[in-house]
Structure 1
Amino acid sequence: MIDLRKRIKRKEWKKSTIKRYKNIKNLLTEFEKAKKYKLTFSKINNTFYTEFIDFCYEDKDHYTNTFNRNLGLVKTFLFWALKKEYMYNKKFIDFKKPKRVLTREEALSFEDIKTLYNHVCEDPKLNKIKDVFIFQSLTGMRFGELKLINKRTVNSNDCVVLKEEKDSSKDTREIPLISISKAILLKYNYKLPLVSNQKQNDYIKEVLKEAGFVHEVEYSKTKGVEQEVFVKKFYERISTHTARRTFITIMRNKGIADKTIMSISGHKDIKTFNMYHQVNNDAKIHAVKSVFENF
């Protein structure tokens, strides 16, 4: 694999990128052992492609989107190796990545956010978790960006002034605060009570369960051409990312222009942005009634 130490020393990769390549290296090591297929540049061929698909879908229980990402990383590495003349085998170029599948993800409605805001958890720790989730839902910020907030990052217009964390080449953006989101910041003296992303994901499920979001929802996952349908409780499908998706969905359903929302959320790619918008039943009912109700 690519020499990670050189990339790290040169500050060419972010930690998330380094983690992805370490993970794909581990995955290929597992593949070698499971399939008894010694990986060399000369053996990257159609047999490898077939066995790697089978390994990812059957042995690792990966779904289409995960396989799409992993195969993309493998091909990126192989193109690099070809460019550096470490290999001359070009068979990998024909490896086809499956199209990413838009999986149904949940988002809270405006009324859901109000219900959650008014719910008081028995455990004080969970109230802090709830406050952070509400703040995210009202600002559209990524969970990883919340640690950047302090008194100095809030300007006189009550906006959080944020330098893009994931891409330093992007412009600084301003995220407006409303009375509730500002009150949450003041409550914690501009330092939100953050835990790790994983713990936030675990605890926010407890919060929503306690608040009564226990109805069942259906969603599907795809492996190649096979689709599997799953049913879970609504709260079980909630994570930190749900808050960002909630913000975008509510704003869009209220008719706010995409360009305005993207300037707040930090999205530059409309295709990625569109994946965050979940059209709920209320929005669909309102849309149909607004057009046909006077028939």
Structure 2
Amino acid sequence: MTHTFYLKTPNSESESLILFSCYFKNEKKKFVYSTGETILPKHWNKESKGPKARAKFAGVNSLRMQLNRYSEAFMKAEERHKLIKEDFTSNSLKSFFQMEFKKVESGSKDFFGIYDEFTTEKKMNQDWSAATIKRYKNIKTILQNFEKEKSYKLSFTSINSKFHSKFTDYCMGDLKHINNTYARNLGLVKTFLFWALDKKYTYNDEFKKFKKKERVITNQVVLDKEELEKLMNHKFELKSLERTRDIFVFAAVTGMRYGELKFISKRNVVGTTFHLKEEKGSEKEIRTIPLSKVAIHILEKYDYNLPVTANQKHNEYIKIVFEKAGFTHMVQKVTTRGKEVIRKDMLFHKRVSSHTARRTFITMMKRDGKSDKLISKITGHRDMKTLNSYYQVDSDEKKEAVDAVFDISF
């Protein structure tokens, strides 16, 4: 039994859908099945029923591989029915193709339908945290807006160098994403595409060539010991601000992530050590975090039940806390978009967030000469590169280092 491929619209100037076809004599029926692949008719060889031998366009090799898969699947299905001595029918071939290529009825599962399957699987397998789920939801919105605003229909076939250029321009031009934001978002898109490739929804691996913008360590604000004492000793009129301050200081003297603070209770504090079984990375061993006098003071103040609020609310309040405590001096925020360096003067308290506390802990420990290995045992970092990205070197520290090395008598 033979089969062939042909174009749905062979005389079109735009891309045409490629159809698989064969004829079932017993049923007197022509079987036609959409491969989901498209090609410009000028690149199609009518005689060989495939892409022209010398055709050169993005994704041509992946297209050839996909059409070969249909040919192989057809022969496999026919041979299987011979072995089990069952009639090889158009319905059985359709079912085999549906299973082999993981398709459903036409139109019910497009690019974003498969994206939804990807996110649903990850959530059901408990692979993602709430923050990760939110990121992938955001990426879907960005891709949908890109498709609409740039009139670029997204399919696995259209994920090519043209898409990469247009998507980069959209994110960094229209949305004004800096390098780090774009690098993270493109990484999330590629994670989805790797999943789709593994699930055989596509054989187009052009995305592997997509280069992310080099991540740039953005200068961040941190506190030194004197500033931490100033914050801790400030008297706030509102109890809500005092509670927010206490949560921030506790995180700053323990190095804990904001999301980990909710796990603290009398049950997991032994003496002056907090025993944390991480929610992020269930395979990790229990982390022991030493508690300083100020940390113990804050825990006892709230009877070991820290008044932790939602991270977003905390980030709103902590800016007010720092403003009321007198952290109103100007600092410069430096970011990078493509090759452009963007400098913006901002008030110190406007740049503070819950993450500032963890960054402060790491920076203060490193400035005091503590080793990366020791610090990582407390913070839970496995990657030293990530740990060191938290470390902020200030001007005074640089000057002290230079003076110490080049203290030359003259």
Letter in 1 for 2:360: T
Per the alignment, residue 114 of structure 1 pairs with 229
Asked whether 1:86 is paired with 2:206, we answer no
In percent, how many aligned pairs have the same letter?
A: 49
Asked whether 1:281 is paired with 2:388, we answer no
Deviations 1:172-192 (A, max 9, x none): 111111111101000000011
Report the Cα distance in structure 2 between the residues aligned to 1:27 and 1:37, rounded to whole angstroms. Answer: 13
RMSD: 1.3
Deviates more, 1:115-124 or 1:143-152: 115-124
Where do residues 123-202 of structure 1 align in structure 2 (5 Å cutoff)?
123-156=238-271, 158-202=272-316
Per the alignment, residue 268 of structure 1 pairs with 382
8 Å CA contact retained: 1:2, 1:77: no
Q: Please, what TM-score do these two structures have when normalized by structure 2?
A: 0.70
Letter in 2 for 1:68: A
Per the alignment, residue 104 of structure 1 pairs with 219
Partner secondary structure for residue 29 of structure 1: helix
8 Å CA contact retained: 1:219, 1:230: yes
Q: Shift in Å at residue 286 of structure 1?
A: 2.5
Q: Shift in Å at residue 169 of structure 1?
A: 1.1
More strand by share: 2
Provide runs of 4+ in structure 1 moved above 6 Å. Answer: none
Deviates more, 1:158-167 or 1:10-19: 10-19
Q: Which of 61, 77, 80 in structure 1 is aligned with 2:192? A: 77
How many corresponding residue pairs? Answer: 294
Letter in 1 for 2:338: G
Which of these two proteins has the greater Rg computed from alpha carbons? Answer: 2
Deviations 1:100-120 (A, max 9, x none): 011001100111001111111
Note the residue ranges of structure 1 that are not aligned, 5 or more in a row. none
Partner secondary structure for residue 42 of structure 1: coil
Q: Which of 315, 332, 335 in structure 2 is aligned with 1:218? A: 332
Deviations 1:203-236 (A, max 9, x none): 1111111111111111211111111111101111
Q: Which of 105, 118, 128 in structure 2 is aligned with 1:13? A: 128
Per the alignment, residue 54 of structure 1 pairs with 169
Q: Shift in Å at residue 2 of structure 1?
A: 5.0
Deviations 1:14-41 (A, max 9, x none): 3233222222111111111110111011
Partner secondary structure for residue 157 of structure 2: helix
8 Å CA contact retained: 1:162, 1:173: yes
Letter in 2 for 1:92: F
Q: Which of 319, 328, 332 in structure 2 is aligned with 1:205? A: 319
More helix by share: 1
Letter in 2 for 1:120: K
Q: Shift in Å at residue 273 of structure 1?
A: 0.3
Report the Cα distance in structure 2 between the residues aligned to 1:135 and 1:160, rounded to whole angstroms. Answer: 12
Note the residue ranges of structure 2 that are not aligned, 5 or more in a row. 1-114
Partner secondary structure for residue 41 of structure 1: coil
Q: Shift in Å at residue 11 of structure 1?
A: 2.4
Deviations 1:18-68 (A, max 9, x none): 222222111111111110111011111121111101110122121111110
Partner secondary structure for residue 100 of structure 1: coil
Q: Which of 355, 361, 370 in structure 2 is aligned with 1:256? A: 370
Partner secondary structure for residue 5 of structure 1: helix
Q: Shift in Å at residue 69 of structure 1?
A: 0.9
Report the Cα distance in structure 1 between the residues aligned to 2:378 and 2:387, rounded to whole angstroms. Answer: 12
Partner secondary structure for residue 232 of structure 1: strand
* More RCO (CA 8 Å, sep 6+): 1
Partner secondary structure for residue 213 of structure 1: coil
